[in-house]
Structure 1
């Protein structure tokens, strides 16, 4: 019996041996050969991002990097733990830090982790010394699956300035096309011009022995460096804008305002090129180099306030309403009464503190920011369109003019993820109401038992009942709020800057651009980038000139006079408009939109501080500092008087009634 068992085992073993050697032998031989050839991707040098004068905004610095081969590690008996332990000791880092960076990202795996392909080298340390990198390279037998190389690393000479504008790099995710570069642009210019900046990876095939030691070079194809991007950003002006914006936020907070976000935009009025784009809060884009923890990632302020932030524009909006009034036949030079309040649909809409300012023309109305004149214009235009029973095709002249200035649509700037703002009208309100009607009507019946404040819960229930019944109606109060940039109007700082550029340049609406040219490594220009004209404001040149001349009085004698006290207007005539926009459940949004020189505008400067208080107190002083910085004007010490609330500045704040559906 034992003989039979032994014979059967021998036959089985011989059969298996024959199968392995004869049938599948060639496959194993080929696999053995392939396992001794390693293909190494040679990353290209990514193109630089330069300012308008050639100063680097994003540059490269060659540093030693240590990478691991994920597939080689997991096929080791202990999954590579021993190798990573020795590597951590050699680098002087905690084991867990290296192990975390060497693992693959997944839903249940927090950062840091590797979001790219497991077949790509995973960088676990990119700030090592040359001596450490050389020591690891010379002890390859101790570090199978580990490699060292000199590689370019992104550096940011401006630090935190322009972080959102410039963007950042990350390893490719599984959603990215295979065979691409080791790093791809994820935001800002890095993402928008990723193809031009990235270059083309090279390939190196090397022969290795069974221990992974390189024994020879088989083939090498050099990497092709990426093109550089020349922008219209002026690094000096960018620094000025960043400093002024941060100062405005700090000043507002000292006065007790939350001041949680903000932006400053500097546009070339006649070309649409962006000279500066500052965001608050910002961050150091160098944080992406070498990996980032989940906690740090979640704390990063990655949303750009300049292109994604949306707020009601307040009185800065009155330039479009003035143009609409002129287009509708109202004489700008005629005089109109500016009472303390104006009844719209049976409810009183007020100037700030109900102050009556007497009779005035539209120049004066813009300088002192009279609301009630605009309420009257809006009410009458609303009635012309049929009021509560609108004509078949209402003209909505104020909405039409706002759209001509470029509001309500994305500007088309060469940056990703731009917000569109909002120009509300009858159709928008009805559609919005229909989408939420079911929930609104349910709340009208059930109320708000989840709201602990009984008075507030009762108010919300009454509001829901009113909106359930006729929340889709465009009331006269909606029109009045629209005229002064309140209600449901939303703009981004970039949109407002573009709108003021159209006012300043004679009516051309331009799609802004940050990039000016793509330049090859040899210095030749691959292509130039020109901001396109995408629209035109259909009002007379005389009307636009009237509005521009009116705004020149705002910093001298109007709502921004205190903020610009002592400003050298003889050297630079600045025109602008303050705005203080109310936001439900939040503090006021502070705005100042401006251009200069007033007679022949070159730049537009817009500043916004969310929950920053009054426009004249926060945004206007910041804009002043930007103008002083652009034109090298020495500020006078006593212009700090803007922190006091003057009578004129109070007119920029709008105490309004906005009941459900607006006033009737």
Structure 2
């Protein structure tokens, strides 16, 4: 018992920490020497590495640091000049400056700031930037075409704020005649990401300026040429490659200069675009546009809407279009440099408003209308073709309803009864007289006779198609319509797709309506000009075209002539053609429907008027014709007016005005012709 506590005390004592031995002088020296060796080793390694970098690798690393990249600067090519047939300039080029950025190197906020500075529309630029970031972030993107030089100077002094900024000298489009022939010329603008997918633009740089409509688009490949490039070697900061001090200044003491101010390392010269000569005649184009404006003013003066129209003047021998006007129109210069600033944006918004009535639409080729009475002449020619009439065949109008043989309960009137009341008649007339008097019932009867003679329910539509109706003419302009010649197949499709109020079948009634250019018939002004050219030239369906020649831009040598082959040939019965010519001559003669519009003109004009009905809208006025006695210099002129009344008061005087301008004939002008026509409103209907 007594031994137990002493053992517990010893246990506690042994559990205590033993005291640390004192650091002796020898131990201290070992530790200091170890640390010194470690430090020495570190310095030796660092020194060896520094020696390797500065001595062994210094030269190569210096080269790598200085020669980091090659900067390529585009050398723009001149876009081809566009001329009229007499070498009057319609589109040319002037020097300008384009502001571009590389999307991968600059932020969206900086792009917006840059757009504001140079006067570009921020929304448009940012949309372009977003697309470029997704699809092509490393290529230059256009911010502003034809930038103001003061703005360029301002941003050039602040390049460090806008990484990826490149200012390019370029050529900017100029339209010296303003809005003249705008729909034929089209306009140019910045290439979009969607357009890069098109065959026409595939492979172009993202900052390219391209054709957007008219011949600028259709002849894009010929007009644009190929840009060149100048290559400069720059360092990582985009500076001239040269030995530099530690603070980045040049070791040779020279001032810093832009690499582009020095001779480039290599150059690829640009290739200028080809020039395009058009078939248009500037002076005739001016006359056509003025006549169109005057005609619309006359329609409005008569109380109609007169909202738009078109004129086509074409050589019937080869399809060369000497004038093509469409109203309303626009100034293509508006698009050069983009739509920028309050004034331009307001103009653009106005042009796209409901009240502007589609000024970018070329009504001569992209719009289609009821052919009306100008279409009747082809029904008569079908009657000759299928042997249901000859030059002596007559139809008598006694004022009663007319009905086809297979539908005795039906009732069709003539325009004379509609406008002059019950009992008004055309009397007994042959084909030539029916053309001159625009006798609806004559052509109803011709269609019915053909229907009775054939089992082919599409025979008459197929006949019209020979004259170019229902298909594109092939003109070298984008956006052309096919128009419409209805067939049984089309009718069945339409009924299935949209239904029919009376659930009827395709039948003679469709032919009867078609016979006078109504029903479901739709025709463009260019198609009407093509078909009347076929009559004038004796049976050749020419291919209309506005391009005449492709030329070298600098020596003006012709590279290629543009002379498309005819689309087809129609064999005329000589007697039928003679009867038709007499009828067209009588239209403008003393007893014809258009007599007042031509009574004091020096020209003998063959032509045909038409008034096409539209649902809940003012009718469409037509006149197509040419001057007799100018076989070596013929010209077909077609005028179409939307929202017009009497074609003889509005459209016919415009045809006269264009023809007189072309043949250099002084006259009282189309307004006096219109006044004369207006004096006889009973005749001014068809």
Give the drift of 1:549.
2.8
Q: Partner of 1:152 in structure 2?
A: 171
1:234/1:276 contact within 8 Å kept: yes
Cα deviation 1:52-102 (Å, max 9, x = unaligned): 011111111123444444433329xx64566667xx2xx6x5xxx464454
Give the drift of 1:625.
1.4
Give the drift of 1:147.
3.8
Report the 3-state secondary structure (helix = DSSP H, G, I; strand = E; otherwise coil) of the residue aligned with 1:591: strand
TM normalised by structure 2 equals 0.77
Q: Partner of 2:598 in structure 1?
A: 564
Cα deviation 1:340-379 (Å, max 9, x = unaligned): 3422322221112412021122211111111111111112
Q: Partner of 2:296 in structure 1?
A: 249
Cα deviation 1:277-305 (Å, max 9, x = unaligned): 11111100111111125736744622210
Provide the rounded CA distance (Å) in 2 between the counterparts of 1:81 and 1:647. 61
Provide the rounded CA distance (Å) in 2 between the counterparts of 1:125 and 1:427. 50
Aligned residues: 575
Q: 2:565 aligns with which of 509, 532, 543?
A: 532
Q: Is the radius of gyration larger for structure 1 or structure 2? A: 2
2:106/2:162 contact within 8 Å kept: no
**Mapping 1:83-482, distance limit 5 Å:** 88=117, 93=119, 97=120, 99-100=122-123, 102-105=125-128, 119-124=139-144, 126-129=146-149, 133=152, 137=156, 140=159, 144-175=163-194, 176=196, 177-180=202-205, 182-213=208-239, 214-215=258-259, 216=262, 217-292=264-339, 293=345, 295=349, 298-299=352-353, 301-329=359-387, 330-340=389-399, 341-344=401-404, 345=407, 346-354=409-417, 355-385=424-454, 391=455, 393-394=456-457, 396=459, 398-437=460-499, 463=501, 466-467=502-503, 470=504, 473-482=505-514
> CA, structure 1 residues 548+221, in 2 after alignment: closer, same or farther (shift >3 Å)?
same
Provide the rounded CA distance (Å) in 2 between the counterparts of 1:118 and 1:645. 70
Q: Partner of 1:546 in structure 2?
A: 579
Cα deviation 1:318-348 (Å, max 9, x = unaligned): 1211111111221123433233342232222
Cα deviation 1:259-279 (Å, max 9, x = unaligned): 222110011011111111111
Give the drift of 1:555.
1.6
Q: 2:542 aligns with which of 510, 513, 536?
A: 510
Provide the rounded CA distance (Å) in 2 between the counterparts of 1:244 and 1:436. 40
Report the 3-state secondary structure (helix = DSSP H, G, I; strand = E; otherwise coil) of the residue aligned with 2:366: coil
Q: Partner of 2:12 in structure 1?
A: none
> CA, structure 1 residues 412+83, in 2 after alignment: closer, same or farther (shift >3 Å)?
closer
Provide the rounded CA distance (Å) in 2 between the counterparts of 1:289 and 1:117. 25
Q: 1:614 aligns with which of 630, 646, 660?
A: 646
**Mapping 1:68-79, distance limit 5 Å:** 68-74=101-107, 79=110
> CA, structure 1 residues 210+159, in 2 after alignment: closer, same or farther (shift >3 Å)?
same
Q: Partner of 2:529 in structure 1?
A: 497
> CA, structure 1 residues 508+616, in 2 after alignment: closer, same or farther (shift >3 Å)?
same
Q: Partner of 1:445 in structure 2?
A: none
Provide the rounded CA distance (Å) in 2 between the counterparts of 1:402 and 1:483. 10
RMSD: 3.2
**Mapping 1:483-494, distance limit 5 Å:** 483-494=515-526
TM normalised by structure 1 equals 0.80
Report the 3-state secondary structure (helix = DSSP H, G, I; strand = E; otherwise coil) of the residue aligned with 1:553: helix
Q: 2:79 aligns with which of 23, 46, 69?
A: 46
Q: 1:577 aligns with which of 588, 591, 608?
A: 608
Q: Partner of 2:659 in structure 1?
A: 627
- Bigger shift: 305-314 or 511-520? 511-520
Provide the rounded CA distance (Å) in 2 between the counterparts of 1:291 and 1:408. 37
> CA, structure 1 residues 474+598, in 2 after alignment: closer, same or farther (shift >3 Å)?
farther
Provide the rounded CA distance (Å) in 2 between the counterparts of 1:32 and 1:555. 86
Provide the rounded CA distance (Å) in 1 between the counterparts of 2:62 and 2:437. 88
Give the drift of 1:51.
0.6
Unpaired stretches in structure 2, ≥5 consecutive residues: 1-41, 54-60, 197-201, 240-257, 340-344, 418-423
